[in-house]
Amino acid sequence: MKLLQNILVPVDFRESSINAFLYAAKISELFHSKLIVLHVIREESLSAETEQMLRETVWQKYQDMKELVDESISERMEFTVEKGVIFERIIHAAIQRDINVIIAGSGSDTEEGRFPLSTMIEKLMRKNQVPLWVVRKPDQLPVRNILCPVDFSDASERALNNAITLASRMGAKLSVVNVFTPLSIHSPRLSVDNENENEILKKKQHEEFDKFLSGFDLRSVPYEKLILEGVPEDQIGTAIEKGKIDLLIMGTTGRTGLSRILMGSVTEKVTREVPCSFITTKSKDITKTSPAGKLGDIEAYISLAKQNRDAGDHEKAIEYYTAGLHQYPDNVPILIGLMNAYKDLGNATKSAFFRDYARDVVTRVWGEEYIEKLGLD
């Protein structure tokens, strides 16, 4: 079984995206993956003739770019052009194509030692569920040193699993890092021995780190365990510089409610200006789809549909809901979304159809008492 079956590379043919394409081609060669190259045309009012000329120009640019890689790689490549909001179409393509990882350029040149991310990448990091591999520099291959910060959460557990898999396949050294942030209490009413308290807390965190690592099979990779002390984003940045890290792998954190995904503040701060390439993982593993990943895919469909419905584009909302329903039949939130979207359009027949469909599923799975609670009466 291939570890990375499908790689998606968004390109706009500028230097950053071409570098990401070349980087992705090498990863594709290593894992024998299919490489899907995506270009998104912005949604503008163009005449049919102008749009056709634009598509022909894009196709020629792709052919020129294709010449930069070996034929053995280009044979596994597929090119597709979509029209719409760039980050939305990337997310949609990732879901539709069962993508294992999106490899994209950071989109910004360095400025006085800083490495700012493009707005599109930041949106993908927040809204996308598929692992995102952001390429900072094209020459950071082969990967020799991987860094994976952990905080013992489910998110960092997923990140470390992916880091072990990639380190093993790439023959890279893996550094697993945990940062202890000292406690500092100063109060005229309390007498606190900060040094003693921190020694106790640090010992507990060391024990928790050992317990966390005991749940992983690290025999296939050379690795080191690092416990650093200070502000997490600062310490991680220093470890990247000292360890000559080629690739950073971090998880993003938690769920609030059923459909809201929040990006971890530490991950956000670190990746905003980190000099090396990095991977962020959320609800889907880079090498396989987990049950959490399936939930994430459903949420991605619903989130995109809701965004378009809120913006008044009910037809596009229906497109996303329908794509989700094809993947996940009998999903009640998607059915309710379709019911409401068709109601917004004034299509009473279709709205009633999906209402009845949802009622049938709810009755069959949860019982009739939930019909009224979900507004399906």
Residue pLDDT, tens place only, 231-286: 888 999 999 999 999 999 998 763 332 222 334 578 888 888 788 999 998 766 77
- In a domain? residue 103: no
Structural domain for 342, as ranges: 314-373
CA 277 to chain centre: 14
- In a domain? residue 29: no
- In a domain? residue 345: yes
DSSP H or E segment with residue 355: helix 348-365
pLDDT band for position 108 (cuts 50, 70, 90): low
The predicted pLDDT at position 191 comes to: 56
User: How many domains does the chain divide into?
Assistant: 1
- In a domain? residue 60: no
pLDDT band for position 327 (cuts 50, 70, 90): low
Tokens of residue 103, six digits: 């490899």
- In a domain? residue 147: no
Percent of all residues in the chain with a pLDDT value above 90, rounded to a whole number: 40
Q: How far is CA 309 from CA 95, 299, 314, 317, 351, in A?
A: 19, 15, 5, 5, 15
Say which CATH number the domain at 333 has.
1.25.40
Ranges 131-140, 187-196, 231-240, 327-336, most confident = 231-240
- In a domain? residue 353: yes
The lowest-confidence range among 41-45, 214-218, 246-250 is: 41-45
The lowest-confidence range among 36-50, 88-102, 254-268, 335-349 is: 254-268
Cα separation of 321 and 339, whole Å?
A: 10
Nearest alpha carbon to residue 365 among 357, 341, 339: 357
Backbone angles phi, psi at 290, to 5 degrees: -95, 165
Q: Is the pTM of this model over 0.85?
A: no
- In a domain? residue 332: yes
- In a domain? residue 354: yes
